[in-house]
Structures are given as structure tokens and as C-alpha cells.
A = this chain, B = another copy of it.
Amino acid sequence: MTERVKHLGEFALIDRLIAALPAEVRSNDRVCGAGDDCAWWQNSGDRTVVTADTMVAGVHFRLDWTDWRSLGHKLLAVNLSDLASMGAAPKLAIVTLALTGDELVADLEDMYRGMGELAAIYGVVIAGGDIVRTQGPQVFNLTAIGEVGVGQSLMTRAAARSGDAILVSGTLGASAAGMRLLAEPNPEAKSADLLIADHLRPSPRISLGRLLASSGVRCCMDLSDGLAGDLPKLLTASGVGAIVDTTLIPVAPAVHANFPDLWLDLAIRGGEDYELLFTVSPDQVAALQVAARDVGATLTPIGQITVEPGLIWLDELHHPVRLDVGAWDHFEHSND
């Protein structure tokens, strides 16, 4: 009876709360909400796709690390990344700000400028929202809404099939490397500004998501909690396992160069890559790689889906290595 949120962890808590709802208000065949990056809702023609992400001052961002313009960019970007992972075209965003009142108006205008610049690229309308007062740290919530047109498929985490190739877009680890350089500045670091920009201003893979969905990819998610945190969610949702060759994981050269001992950890556990992780039949990989050039994306096969559950990582000698994996969890489990 005295079980507290911090004892349970974020993902177990979500399961418990959904279980507290009457069955008829949970996901059904017209509305689906649990387990994917977005919820969706089948209207008369299109499917409407919805996602919400929240950033709390001191937890998800530090005002001594980021400028406000980048913060606005990121608040929208992390939500657009969720839409991208479903293959949805973004349409509209609603913003809720919980503010202390001491913020400079000019800073918030900068935040909106950063949001607006990214919104303009994808034709997303920023449709107002709600502003409330808080006595604590600022809380910024953005809800993004997109659509998947009639006849288009919607990608989910639950569609991986045994034998599928596992691919990621772009490179991994740069955002985590950038965050580390913010925490421990190193004047000798190479390409530090670019790594930091990867952390503060991630780019959502909207066009790639659309391309994958229209090319027949059915299983996709975005990498927000790191490959080692997110891939197990995809495997669990699909009821399959995987073998990943760690030597194939694409890592930016600057991550290698600046963190010779830590690059693999940053690449699989760092998080906030906002690249797409997806699976597809091996005979489609080459054609997808060519097609992805049109949206400026590189696609790298890193492993294979297996019938047997579990996740095996292979080292450079193709020996299985043990990696302690786990998703980023907003609540560290504790027994206080």
C-alpha cells in the first residue's frame, strides 16, 4: 500500500495505470495507444497519429547548456521523430508551457522561433495550446498530430518477423557524445560543436519515415533511449529475438576520435539519437539503401531478427558479448 512511483519505474508504472482503466477505454480496433511511439485513431478516411513528449527543466534540459532557440527546435523535433517512426506526415502541434513567471519574454519568443523554423520545413502548424503557472521547474509539453493517408501503411514496433534484417539510419552516439562534452568541456575535442548540435538540435527523420512506410517497411521505431534500450522493446512487441553485430553499428568518426574507450557505450546506450530503427526482409535492403539517398539518409544493416527470444550482441570475433541493457528510465528504481 505504500508502493511509490520511484520503486516501480516508468514503464511498469504505465502498465499499472493502463490496467486501472476500464477495458472499454483501452486500445481497440479503431484507436490504438499502447506500446508504440504514437497513438493512432482511424477516422473516416485517414488515420490520425498523435504523440506527446514533455521536457522538464533540470531533467531533460539545462538552461546553462542550451539556448532557447535550440530548446524550441528540440521540443518539436523529438515529437516529430515519433511521428516519423510511424510513417506519418506531421500536420499540427499544440504546446503547453508551465512557467514560473520569471522567464524573459524574449527567451520564450526565441523558443517559438526555433520551433517555428523546424515547423516551417515540414509544414507543421503550431496551433496554440495552454500556458499555466508553476512554482517549480518549467515543464514544456508538445503534442504533435500527423496523418497516414488512405491506403498507406502505418509502421509499428510489433511487426518484426524472423529473418528480417535490422537497420538503423545515420550514425549513433553523437548526441550522447555532445552531452558529455557539455558536461565536461574539452578544448581539444574534435568537431565538438557538431556533436553538441546533435544533442541540442536533433533532426527528425520525417522524410525517411515516409519513404520507409511507402516502400513496404512495416516495423519501425525511433531511437530515443539508445539502441540497447529501444531494440528490446521492438523485440518484445514483436515476440521475436535478435542478433546484432556490434562491429556493424554506424558510429560517427568524431565519436570514435573523442571517446576511444567509450564509443560503443555511447552508440548503444547514449540515447537521444532520434534515428530510425527498423526491420525489413533482407532482399529489400539494397533497394532501400539506394532509395534513402533521395532523403539524404544512410541505412546500415546491423543484425537479424531471430525466432528465439532474447538479444545477442556479437563482438569483432563474432563471439557473443554480455551487455547490461536497459532503457533510460525517468525513475531509478530504489527502495527508499
Contact = CB atoms under 8 A, between A and B. Distances in A.
A105 B46 contact: no
Interface string A1-36: 111111110100110111011101111100111110
A55 B139 CA distance: 11
Interface in A31-53: 31-35, 39, 41, 43-46, 48, 50-53
A132 interface: yes
A27 B131 contact: no
A101 interface: yes
A147 interface: yes
Interface stretch (A112-120, A233-241, A259-267, A305-313): A112-120
B3 A104 contact: yes
Contacts of A150: 44
Interface string A115-131: 11101100111111111
A331 B8 CA distance: 36
A60 interface: yes
A88 to B, nearest CB: 12
A134 B136 contact: yes
A33 B116 CA distance: 14
Given A6-B102, A105-B16, A31 B134 contact: no
Given A22-B116, A124-B25, A331-B101, A92 B41 contact: yes
Main SS class of interface, A? mixed
Contacts of A143: 50, 52, 94, 143
Nearest to A28: B125
Contact of A106 (B3, B18, B44): B3
A149 interface: yes
A94 B82 CA distance: 14
A91 interface: yes
A294 interface: no
A58 B100 CA distance: 13
A130 B52 contact: yes
A132 B330 contact: yes
Interface string A97-111: 011111111101110
14 contacts: A1-B104, A4-B103, A13-B131, A20-B116, A24-B123, A25-B116, A26-B125, A31-B125, A50-B127, A50-B143, A52-B141, A56-B134, A134-B136, A141-B141
